[in-house]
C-alpha cells in the first residue's frame, strides 16, 4: 500500500486480546467515535474539531516489528493519543508494552491516556507510565538521570459485571475526550449532561420530527458505515497478511494460506487487499523455480514434541510427545496412527517400515501398521533403539542384551553382550547399517567400543575398543574401511577431543588428532570424498581423512543442530535457524538468505535432513515442519534458449532531470533509471534502498517500496497479466492499479499463456500464468475443510 493510503487517527487503543479486555476496548471504541461535543464548548477547542473521526483498534493481536512500515507501527505514528486498557493481563503482553515504547518515540508522555479496567493501579498500570527519567546536574557538574514518579491521566471503567462497566465507561469517555480536545473535564461533563437533558426533551416533545430526523440520519450513517466497513475489511486483510508472514516464518504453511484466503473475495471484480493477495501467491509457491527451501508441511501434535523421527524414503514422520506417538503421512501431513503409551512419564519410539517400536519404564511394544495393535516385545525397560532406512532396528535393553528386529517387528537375533563388557554398564550410542554388517557403537565406564554384527544372526564379527576415561559419549563415523572415533575428555586445561582413525581390517590405529577446547558431546561426523567434518557443539573441524591433518576450524556463537553434505561441502542448521556452509577451500559462510525462501523465526531444537528435505522442530513447539527445495508443482522444465527481456537504461539525470516534473536530487538515485517499455512510467532505484515508480508525463509518484535488490533491468507491460512486471534478480507483478500483488523468481519472458522463468542452476521452466480467481480456487482445494487449531488462532490472531 502506498504512502497515499496512510490514515490519521485521533487515538490508538492498545489492549490485551482476550474476552474481557476486548469487550472494554470494543465498546470504548464505539463510544469514542459516537461522542459529539456540545456546541457551547466548540469555541474552546483549538483544533477546530467537533468530534473524534477515527480511532485505531487492531482486531487481532500481532507482533509489532522494528519496521515502522508495518500497519501497527504506522497507526501508532499517525495517532494523536494512545489509550491503554489496563488490566493485570495487559502487563503480560510484550507487544502491548512495545506499543507504548514506540508511541513515546514520537509523542509526548501526556498523550498517553490510561483506562483502568480491572484490579488496582499498582497491578495494572505499566511501570513505564508511572515514572519518568529526568536529567539533572549534581554538585560536581555531572549529569545524573533520576526517576520521577508520575501520575498518568486515568479513567476508571471498573465494575462488578459488564453492565456496570458500560455505565462507568460513559463517564470515562467524557474524561478521555476532555483530554483529547484539550478541555476542562468538569466543564465538559456539565455541558454534556445539559446537552443530554435537552436532547431527551426534544425527543419526547417531537416524535414526528424525530422519525424524520432518524430516517435522514440513518441514510447518512449507512453511507458512512459502508465506508468504514470497507476500511475495516482492508485493515483486517492487512493484519491477516502480516499474520501469514509470521506463520510462514514459523513453518506453518497451511495456516498461512488459511489466514489470507479468508479475507480475499473469490474474484478480483470485488475490492481486494493487495497485501493479502501477495501473501497468498507466495504461500502457494506459484512461481517458485529456485532451489530455496520453503515449508511444505506441518505435522501437529497435541502437546510439546519430545522427539521426532523420519523414515527412509520420506514415507512416514513420527512425533513423540512423551506419553504418546503420532505417525503422519509425509506428503499430506494426515495422522495415520496414534499410539498412546501406558506410562505418562516418557516413552522412546522409533519408526520401522511396518510399524513403531516403542518402550517405557513399564515395558516395550511393537505397534503394527497392518493390524493397528500393540504387541509386547521381548526387550524391556526403556530400551535404546536405532533404525535403518529400510525400517529394521537394533535394540539394547538395560540387561545387556542386543537385539535385531525387522521392519515388521520380528526378532532376528538376540546377542548377549555380557562376555564383551563383563557386565559393566554400557550404552548403545549409535549404529551404522551396511549390507554385510551392522556397526554398533557403545560407551562404557572403561571407554568406547565398536562391534561389527552379522545382520542375519547377530554374531559378533569383530570388535574395537578405546580406553579413554570420559563422561562424554563418543561420536563415530565410518567410510572406506576406516572407523573414525571422536571422544571428548575434561582435564585441567579444559575440554579436549581426540579423533582416532582405525583400520577395521587390521584394527591398527592410522592416526590420532587432539583438538583443545573442542566439545563433541552433542556433535556428529560427516565424511565426504575429500574431507572429514567433525561438528562440535558450536564449531566445525575440517580434517583430511587420510592423514588426520587439521585443515580448518570454524567457531560459531550458535549450536550445531543438524549437518549434511552438499556437493562435498558441509552444511548445517544452527539453533538460531541459520544455515552455514563449510568448505576447506572456500572457508565458511552463512547462506541462510539463499538457502531459505523464508528463514525460520524460531529457535531450532532438533532437525533431520532426510532425502533432500529438512525437518525442523522448534523450541517449545508442538509440531515439526518439513522444508523442501522443490520448484512449483506447476513448473515444467523447458529446453531451448531464451533471452531476457530488458529495457534501455539511462543515467538518473536523463530520466529525472526535468525540474518541472521531479523535485528531488538525482544524486539520490542509485546509478540507473529507466522507463517502462511503453514509456508510461519512469523508474528509479534510490540509495535508501527504495524503488520508486512515477508517472512519466506528470512526475507524480505512483508507488514507493523498500527492496533489498540492487539491480533491476526490465519494466514492461504484460498483455498476459494486463498489468506491469518489474524484473531484476526477482520479478514483481503489479495489478492494474499499480499495486504489488506478487513477488516471484525471475520471469525471463512470456510464451502464450505461460511465463518462461529461470533457475540459474537447472535452466528454464515453463509456468502457466495463474490469475486471481484460479489462485483462490487452488487455495480452496489445498485447504479443503481445514481449520487451524484454537491455539494457532489465538497465538497468531486468526479469526
Predicted confidence at residue 133, as pLDDT, reads 72
C-alpha cell of residue 105: 518515540
To the nearest 10°, report the CA torsion of 727, 732, 733, 736: -100
- Per-residue pLDDT, 188: 78
Of the candidates 250, 252, 256, the one whose C-alpha atom is nearest the C-alpha of residue 278 is 256
Q: Please give the pLDDT value at position 470.
A: 65
For residues 221 and 219, give the distance between their C-alpha atoms in angstroms, rounded to a whole number: 5
**Block residue for cell numbers 525397560:** 381
Rounded Cα distance between 545 and 479, Å, is 9
C-alpha to C-alpha distance for 508 and 210, rounded to whole angstroms: 105
Of 226, 102, 81, 207, nearest to 153 by C-alpha is 81
Our measurement of the distance from residue 125's CA atom to the centroid of its chain's CA atoms, rounded to an integer in Å, reads 31
3-state secondary structure of 449: strand
Which residues of the chain are modeled with pLDDT < 70? Answer: 1-6, 60-69, 135-139, 141, 143, 192-228, 312-314, 342-346, 378-383, 397-399, 423, 467-471
Interatomic CA distance for residues 256 and 245, integer angstroms: 7
pLDDT in tens, 672-707: 899 999 999 999 999 888 999 999 999 999 999 999
Supply the DSSP string of 47-107, one letter for each residue. Answer: T---B---EE--SS-----S-TTSHHHHHHHTEEEEEEEE-HHHHH-HHHHHHHHHHHTTS
Which residue from 470, 489, 391, 458 is spatially nearest to 427, judged by alpha carbons?
470
Task: Please name which of 83, 230, 217 lies closest in space to residue 153, comparing C-alpha atoms.
Answer: 83
Residues paired with 309 in a beta bridge = 318
298-308 in b/e burial notation, b at 16+ Cβ within 10 A?
bbbbeeebbbb
pLDDT value, residue 575: 93
Say what the pTM is.
Answer: 0.69
Q: Of the candidates 758, 649, 610, which has an alpha carbon nearest to the alpha carbon of residue 310?
A: 610
Helices (H), 285-365: none
> Are 467 and 447 a contacting pair, CB within 8 Å?
yes
Q: Give Cβ neighbours of residue 788 (< 8 Å, ≥ 6 apart).
A: 254, 255, 258, 798
Closest CA relative to residue 452, chosen from 443, 462, 442, 444 = 462
- pLDDT at position 755 is 96
Q: What is the b/e burial string over 139-159, where b = at least 16 CB atoms within 10 angstroms of the residue's CB?
A: eeeeeeeeeeeeebebbebbe
Contact 312, 611 (CB under 8 A): yes
Reading the block at residue 362, the C-alpha cell is 513399564
Q: Determine which helix (DSSP H) or strand (DSSP E) holds 337, and give its type and residue range.
A: strand 335-340
Of 13, 106, 113, give the one whose Cα is nearest residue 58.
13
Cα angle vertex 602, ends 599, 606, to 5°?
95
Task: Please compute, for residue 208, the number of CA atoms within 13 A of its CA located in the half-sphere on the CB side.
Answer: 0
Neighbour-count burial for 535-558, b at 16+ CB within 10 Å, e otherwise? bbbbbbbbbebeebeeebbbebeb
Residue with cell 437533558: 197
Enumerate the β-bridge partners of residue 610. 613
Cell, residue 601: 523465526
Amino acid at each position: 500500500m502506498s504512502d497515499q493510503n496512510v490514515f490519521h487517527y485521533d487515538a490508538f487503543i492498545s489492549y490485551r486480546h482476550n474476552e474481557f479486555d476486548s469487550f472494554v476496548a470494543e465498546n470504548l471504541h464505539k463510544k469514542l467515535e459516537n461522542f459529539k461535543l456540545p456546541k457551547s464548548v466548540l469555541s474552546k477547542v483549538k483544533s477546530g474539531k467537533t468530534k473524534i473521526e477515527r480511532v485505531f483498534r487492531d482486531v487481532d493481536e500481532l507482533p509489532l516489528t522494528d519496521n515502522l512500515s508495518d500497519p501497527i507501527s504506522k497507526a501508532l505514528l499517525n495517532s494523536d493519543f494512545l489509550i491503554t486498557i489496563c488490566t493485570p493481563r495487559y502487563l503480560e503482553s510484550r507487544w502491548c508494552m512495545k506499543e507504548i515504547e514506540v508511541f513515546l518515540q514520537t509523542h509526548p508522555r501526556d498523550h498517553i491516556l490510561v483506562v483502568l479496567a480491572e484490579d488496582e493501579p499498582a497491578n495494572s498500570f505499566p511501570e513505564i507510565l508511572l515514572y519518568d527519567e529526568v536529567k539533572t546536574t549534581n554538585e560536581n557538574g555531572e549529569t545524573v538521570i533520576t526517576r520521577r514518579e508520575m501520575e498518568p491521566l486515568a479513567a476508571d471503567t471498573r465494575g462488578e459485571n459488564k453492565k456496570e462497566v458500560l455505565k462507568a465507561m460513559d463517564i470515562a469517555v467524557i474524561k478521555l475526550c476532555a483530554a483529547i480536545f484539550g478541555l476542562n473535564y468538569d466543564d465538559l461533563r456539565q455541558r454534556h449532561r445539559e446537552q443530554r437533558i435537552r436532547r431527551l426533551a426534544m425527543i419526547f416533545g417531537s416524535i414526528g420530527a424525530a422519525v424524520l430526523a432518524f430516517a435522514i440520519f440513518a441514510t447518512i450513517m449507512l453511507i458512512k458505515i459502508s465506508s468504514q466497513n470497507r476500511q475495516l475489511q482492508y485493515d483486517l486483510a492487512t493484519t491477516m497478511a502480516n499474520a501469514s508472514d509470521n506463520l510462514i516464518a514459523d513453518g506453518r504453511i497451511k495456516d498461512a494460506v488459511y489466514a489470507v484466503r479468508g479475507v480475499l473475495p473469490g474474484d478480483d471484480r470485488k475490492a481486494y487487499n493487495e497485501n493479502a493477495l501477495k501473501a497468498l501467491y507466495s504461500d502457494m509457491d506459484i512461481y517458485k523455480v529456485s532451489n530455496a527451501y520453503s515449508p511444505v508441511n506441518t505435522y501437529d501434535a497435541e502437546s510439546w514434541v519430545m522427539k521426532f523421527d523420519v523414515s527412509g524414503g520420506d514415507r512416514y514422520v513420527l512425533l513423540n510427545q512423551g506419553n504418546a506417538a503420532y505417525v503422519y503421512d509425509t506428503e499430506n501431513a494426515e495422522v495415520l496412527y496414534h499410539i498412546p503409551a501406558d506410562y505418562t512419564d516418557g516413552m522412546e519410539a522409533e519408526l520401522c517400515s511396518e510399524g513403531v517400536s516403542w518402550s517405557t519404564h513399564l515395558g516395550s511394544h511393537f505397534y503394527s501398521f497392518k493390524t493397528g495393535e500393540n504387541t509386547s516385545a521381548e526387550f524391556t525397560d526403556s530400551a535404546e533403539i536405532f533404525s535403518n532406512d529400510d525400517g529394521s532396528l537394533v535394540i539394547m535393553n538395560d540387561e545387556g542384551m542386543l537385539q535385531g528386529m525387522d521392519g515388521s517387528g520380528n526378532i532376528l537375533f538376540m546377542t548377549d553382550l555380557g562376555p564383551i563388557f563383563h557386565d559393566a554398564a554400557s550404552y548403545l550410542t549409535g549404529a551404522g547399517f551396511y549390507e554385510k554388517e551392522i556397526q554398533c557403537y557403545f560407551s562404557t565406564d572403561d571407554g568406547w567400543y565398536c562391534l561389527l554384527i552379522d545382520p542375519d544372526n547377530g554374531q559378533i564379527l569383530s570388535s574395537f575398543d578405546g580406553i579413554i576415561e570420559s563422561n562424554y559419549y563418543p561420536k563415530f563415523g565410518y567410510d572406506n574401511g576406516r572407523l573414525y572415533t571422536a571422544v571428548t575428555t575434561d582435564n585441567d586445561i579444559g575440554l579436549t577431543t581426540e579423533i582416532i582413525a582405525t583400520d577395521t581390517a587390521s584394527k591398527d590405529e592410522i592416526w590420532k588428532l587432539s583438538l583443545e577446547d573442542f566439545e563433541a558431546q552433542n556433535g556428529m561426523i560427516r565424511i565426504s570424498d575429500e574431507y572429514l567434518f567433525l561438528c562440535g557443539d558450536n564449531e566445525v573441524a575440517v580434517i583430511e581423512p587420510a592423514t588426520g591433518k587439521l585443515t580448518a576450524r570454524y567457531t560459531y556463537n550458535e549450536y550445531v543442530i543438524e549437518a549434511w553434505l552438499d556437493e562435498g561441502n558441509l552444511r548445517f542448521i544452527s539453533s538460531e535457524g541459520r544455515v552455514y556452509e563449510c568448505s576447506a577451500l572456500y572457508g565458511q559462510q552463512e547462506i541462510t538468505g539463499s538457502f531459505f525462501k523464508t528463514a525460520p523465526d524460531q529457535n531450532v531444537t532438533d532437525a533431520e535432513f532426510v532425502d533432500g528435505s529438512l525437518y525442523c522442530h522448534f523450541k517449545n513447539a508442538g509440531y515439526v515442519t518439513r522444508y523442501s527445495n522443490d520448484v512449483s508443482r506447476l513448473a515444467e522444465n523447458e529446453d531451448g534458449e531464451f533471452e531476457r527481456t530488458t529495457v534501455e537504461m539511462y543515467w538518473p539525470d536523463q530520466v529525472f532531470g526535468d525540474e518541472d516534473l521531479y523535485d528531488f536530487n538525482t544524486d539520490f538515485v542509485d546509478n540507473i533509471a529507466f522507463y517502462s517499455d511503453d514509456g508510461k512510467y519512469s523508474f528509479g532505484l534510490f540509495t535508501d534502498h527504495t524503488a520508486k515508480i512515477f508517472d512519466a508525463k506528470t512526475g507524480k509518484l505512483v508507488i514507493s517500496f523498500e527492496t533489498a535488490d540492487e539491480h533491476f533491468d526490465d519494466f514492461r507491460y504484460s498483455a498476459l497479466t494486463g498489468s506491469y512486471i518489474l524484473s531484476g534478480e526477482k520479478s514483481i507483478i503489479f495489478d492494474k492499479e499499480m499495486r504489488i500483488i506478487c513477488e516471484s523468481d525471475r520471469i525471463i519472458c512470456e510464451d502464450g499463456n505461460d511465463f518462461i522463468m529461470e533457475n540459474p542452476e537447472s535452466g528454464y521452466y515453463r509456468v502457466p500464468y495463474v490469475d486471481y480467481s484460479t489462485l483462490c480456487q487452488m487455495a480452496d482445494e489445498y485447504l479443503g475443510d481445514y481449520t487451524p487449531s484454537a491455539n494457532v488462532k489465538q497465538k497468531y490472531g486468526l479469526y
